[in-house]
Amino acid sequence: MTAAFTVRVSDETASKLNQIAEKLDRSRAYMAAEAIEAFVEQQEWQLAEIEAGLDAADRGEFASAEDVAKVVGKYVKSARQS
């Protein structure tokens, strides 16, 4: 089952969507549906991860200062070597 609804986007966005749809030989509606589905999936994942993190924090599960320093040190060293 599918649901239909109307969304408003700027003329510029509509034009870009039309160009992409044409290049991919798809309809504008197909491309819009794909974009919305990808957005919803990403938001669901992100919200689930945030909720899991908040639950862990509520249980008192935090990284130690040493753990944080190791992670930060890893990226600081990588940036300096680049």
Specify the residue for token string 């070597």. 81
Given a cut of 80, whether residue 38 has pLDDT beyond it is yes
At 55, the amino acid letter reads D
- Rounded CA-CA distance 48/52 in Å is 6
- Rounded CA-CA distance 78/4 in Å is 48
Q: Band of the pLDDT at 7, cuts 50, 70, 90? A: very high
Over range 2-18, report the average pLDDT: 95
Residue pLDDT, tens place only, 21-32 = 999 999 999 999
Over range 27-39, report the average pLDDT: 96
Q: What is the pLDDT of residue 22?
A: 97
| 20 contact partners, CB below 8 Å, separation of at least 6 | 31
The reply to whether the predicted model has a pTM over 0.75 is no
Alpha-carbon dihedral 52, 55, 57, 62, rounded to 10 degrees: -50
At 39, the amino acid letter reads F
